[in-house]
Amino acid sequence: MFVYLLLLTVIATVEAQRVPGLQKTDSCLCKINSSIWTFPAVQFVEVTKEVQTCEENLNEFEEKLRNTDVELPSMGATLQNITARLEVFNYLHTSGLYNALHLRQLNQELEEIHQIVNEAHLQNPNNETHNLLSELKKAKNDVRRMYKDDFFNLETMKKRLQDLNNRAQTCKTIPNDFRSTCHQRIMTRISSPRVTKLNSISKSYISGAWGRDALLTNNRYWEHCLVSGNKHGNTIRVYNSHEDFMASKNYKDEQIAPSYSDKNAVQGSGTILYDNTVFYQCYETAEICSFNITSQSTERVKLDGAGIDNKFPFCYFSCRDWTDIDLEADQDAVWVIYATEENHGNIVVSRLDPLELNITHTWKTHLFKRSVTSTFMVCGVLYATRYVSNYQEEVFYAFDTTTGQEINTLSLPFEKVSAGIANLNGFRQLYI
Ligand SMILES: *[C@@H]1O[C@H](CO)[C@@H](O)[C@H](O)[C@H]1NC(C)=O
Ligand SMILES: *[C@@H]1O[C@H](CO)[C@@H](O)[C@H](O)[C@H]1NC(C)=O
Ligand SMILES: *[C@@H]1O[C@H](CO)[C@@H](O)[C@H](O)[C@H]1NC(C)=O
Ligand SMILES: *[C@@H]1O[C@H](CO)[C@@H](O)[C@H](O)[C@H]1NC(C)=O
Ligand SMILES: *[C@@H]1O[C@H](CO)[C@@H](O)[C@H](O)[C@H]1NC(C)=O
């Protein structure tokens, strides 16, 4: 409720401060009154400092309570992670690039630390928990003030430019079969998971991907395990029916690469199967590989500027290793979800032509990739989820590639099969 009210405030303020652009020959000129630069930067720095102070206090606190059974190490890790993430927000801010969405996430994170500290306080109240609580309260007030006093317009301009760019992407010539046939564009609810199954290869492999051939005319199911450090893999197990898949029988193991350290081996858990072709991040590079099982041939395409090797993974309390590049497919296309430095670590979505293996479109979102736990695509709409509890996720964000619109006020909770879920693929049948 609190977050909701704040958002409304921001929108109202931003609306009142529009900076009109003028088209001059081939460029767009905007006059910005320099008085709008008096953004409350000092307050942002204060918040960052306060969170750092919290961390210091927490470290002492942790030291004191290390011998008790209170679960402080995880609190410490959380605060450290949040401090690390704040540094990025700070960078975004000093580059004049932070935005309302980042503030909202910051706010949610503050709320979450608050809950954790509150629990610790109830279990074992002492001066430190008391201080932490009052510091968190102050930090939250500061964030609230940042929302209220924000009359910073560069952000609005950047957002508008990016929206224009995304709309331009969408206007690019798009193959006929790309426009989705879904009549309702944004999902309204998500059913419980229908399929629960342990991987059939080995219980010791805890990371990988599985699913159905995304070209739904193929009734093919598959599983893929990362066998080396939860990072690399080189085989895929394919089943010709759902029954075989559930019973783990009548499968065929296909070799994607001769070994898990081959240049054509798989890296990370973003793998998908589309039209009997495996699409995945190529071994140790910012490239997408396709391995056509029918023709047994591998091709690759470069993903410009994509962060790899845990630069922009999916995160929540902790980050999931080797999740820099996520592949998704719907009936119409293969989608690549990643982040670039150029887009300040925010999610970039590219549409990949599965037959030509070239990138046809690229949209840049305002969603910081490290702030989401997972993404998936349905009907050309990218959805992002955040952690709610070990049993629940929430879809909180959508980006519609057919309109270039971002929606960050969704709240669609759904059950998850396991706490460590990192790779969700959207299936219309399953989720809508
Ligand atoms: C800039 O904005 C301030 C405050 O709104 C106003 O007083 C000032 O006249 C403006 N300057 C110009 C050049 O428009
Ligand atoms: C979060 O904390 C965990 C455990 O301390 C660490 O492994 C991980 O790298 C941290 N993530 C970030 C973004 O700092
Ligand atoms: C907590 O603070 C009070 C007053 O500042 C002080 O008297 C007390 O000794 C402190 N308790 C602990 C456990 O540090
Ligand atoms: C895979 O190879 C087969 C046979 O060469 C071809 O018909 C099919 O279109 C290829 N699929 C993809 C996705 O490239
Ligand atoms: C993708 O490849 C096809 C066939 O080679 C070509 O016609 C098309 O222009 C390419 N698209 C891009 C964006 O490179």
- Read off the pLDDT of each residue in 229-236 and give the average, rounded to a whole number: 88
3-state class (DSSP) for residue 324? coil
Q: Is ligand 3 within 6 A of the CB of residue 60?
A: no
Question: Are residues 331 and 204 part of one domain?
Answer: yes
What own/partner pairs with CB < 8 Å and gap ≥ 24 does 371-374 have? 371/85, 371/102, 371/105, 371/315, 372/314, 372/315, 372/347, 372/397, 373/314, 373/315, 373/316, 373/320, 373/421, 373/422, 374/314, 374/326, 374/421, 374/422, 374/423, 374/424
Residue 357 Cα: closest atom of ligand 4: 14
The ligand placed nearest to the CA atom of residue 361 is 5
One domain for residues 263 and 316? yes
Tens-digit pLDDT profile for residues 384-421: 988 887 777 888 889 988 777 888 778 888 776 655 44
Tokens of residue 360, six digits: 């046809």
For ligand 5, pick from 358, 359, 360, 362 the residue to mutate: most ligand atoms within 8 Å of CB. 358
Q: What is the CA radius of gyration of the chain?
A: 23
For the chain, how many structural domains are there in total?
A: 2
For residue 422, the model assigns a pLDDT of 46
More confident residue, 313 or 149: 313
- The predicted structure's pLDDT at residue 74: 60
Interval 289-305 mean pLDDT: 95
Query: What is the C-alpha separation between 325 and 369, in angstroms, rounded?
Result: 10
Same domain, 194 and 56: no
Residues touching ligand 2 (Cβ under 6 Å) are 77, 80-81, 84, 315, 318-319
Please report whether residue 31 resides in a domain. Answer: no
Top-confidence range, 89-93, 170-174, 282-286 = 282-286
Domain that includes residue 235, residue range: 182-431
Please say if the pLDDT value at position 206 is more than 80.
Answer: no
- Tell me which amino acid residue 5 is: L
Query: 35: CA distance to ligand 1 center in Å?
Result: 7
Cα of 311 from ligand 2 centre, angstroms = 12
CATH assignment of the domain containing 257: 2.40.128.630
Atom of ligand 5 nearest to the CA of 358: 1
Together in a domain, 241 and 102? no
Eight-class DSSP state of 26: T
Ligand nearest to the CA of 85: 2
Q: Please identify, among 99, 130, 152, the residue that sits at the C-terminal boundary of a domain.
A: 152
Q: Is residue 177 part of a domain?
A: no
